[in-house]
Amino acid sequence: MASLRELAKRPEYIAPGHRACSGCIPIVAFHHVMRSINPEDGVVVGTATGCMEVVTTIYPYTSWRVPWIHNAFENVAATISGVEAAYQSFKRQGKIDPNKKIKFIAFGGDGGTYDIGLQALSGAMERGHDMLYVCYDNEAYMNTGIQRSSATPFSADTKTAPVGKVRPGKTQYPKPLTEIMAAHGIPYAAQAVVSHWKDLNRKVEKALSIEGPTFINILAPCPPGWRFKEDMGVELSRLAVETCFWPLYEVENGVYKLNYKPRQKLPVTEFMKHQGRFRHLFREENKHLLEAAQKWVDDRWEHLLRMVEATKPKEQAA
């Protein structure tokens, strides 16, 4: 893994002057991912329609200093898998130096990954393309007005699952996308956050070193969508980990590994209380919703611990 000093010397592949919101964590996640690329390697990036595509490439300007492709909301995985397939064809034809390493990275938000891009993503993973897919999960369709997605937490207030007399926000729980990707039998899948940047950097480096399809899901707090103070993004990332709302783990060749276990697991309210989208949950009449949210976190955490134990190599289990 590259040291902090080495990372600081690497080229910035995303130029300043983009239009991301103040306190935007998705753009920080992008910087971490791009800094984790070996500067000796080439890279081609695709970004699905979404917040990060809009803020980095408002015509006629771009913040990208590498070959970059924008496509429709739902098919960035298909686009980058096609570029990777063309690269492999050119190598076989002798049109590209086979010793020149080129990495292929697709970025998509949760709307373009959990929902309308899932078919393209599943297909790319199943076909075995040598590519890394990174989901920046800000837990709603933030680019188009904060509509709920299948990544949106239970009881969160969004424009299409609003808090009112009929419903207390979203009534469903988030889709376990990282596990769904691991279930494809791909070599590597992981969850990460920017607050634990060493872990994020290591996971990106590992994913890019593996031949075949890899996937990293990064929780990416969004100030306007989550309604928190702009300087709280990194702290919310940390609290998501300390409460086990967003555990840090990786799945390598089917083996689950926990990367961080809190010394003292905090209640999920420590993560939720700083966010306006959960403000209604702290009313006395909604106490049962907070209890349901905590139970979901506890159940998912226990499930993860069981998966770690169940997939542990025999020599370690002994």
Number of DSSP helices (H) and strands (E) in the chain, helices first? 12, 8
Whole-angstrom distance, CA of residue 169 vs CA of residue 59: 36
To the question of domain 4-312 being in CATH 3.40.50.970, the answer is yes
- What is 90-111 written as a DSSP string? HHHTTSS-TTS-EEEEEEEESI
Inter-CA distances, 93 with 42, 86, 90, 253, Å: 19, 10, 5, 31
Shortest CA distance to 126 belongs to which of 118, 134, 136? 118
Whole-angstrom distance, CA of residue 146 vs CA of residue 102: 35
pLDDT band at 45 (very low <50, low <70, confident <90, very high): very high
For residues 78 and 106, is the Cβ–Cβ distance under 8 A? no
Q: What is the pLDDT of residues 187-242, one digit of tens each?
A: 999 999 999 999 999 999 999 999 999 999 999 999 999 999 999 999 999 999 99
Read off the amino acid at residue 225.
G
pLDDT of residue 317: 62
| Residue 65 C-alpha from the chain's centroid | 22
For residues 83 and 69, is the Cβ–Cβ distance under 8 A? yes
- Mean model confidence pLDDT for the chain: 96
For residues 44 and 67, is the Cβ–Cβ distance under 8 A? yes
pLDDT of residue 20: 96
pLDDT of residue 172: 98
- Domain positions in the chain are 4-312
Q: What is the pLDDT of residues 74-120, one digit of tens each?
A: 999 999 999 999 999 999 999 999 888 999 999 999 999 999 999 99
Read off the amino acid at residue 270.
E
Sheet holding 132-137, edge to edge: 68-70, 42-47, 102-109, 132-137, 214-219, 188-192, 249-252, 255-258
Alpha helices in 93-220 (DSSP H): 118-127, 177-182, 197-209
Q: What is the pLDDT of residues 161-188, one digit of tens each?
A: 999 999 999 999 999 999 999 999 999 9
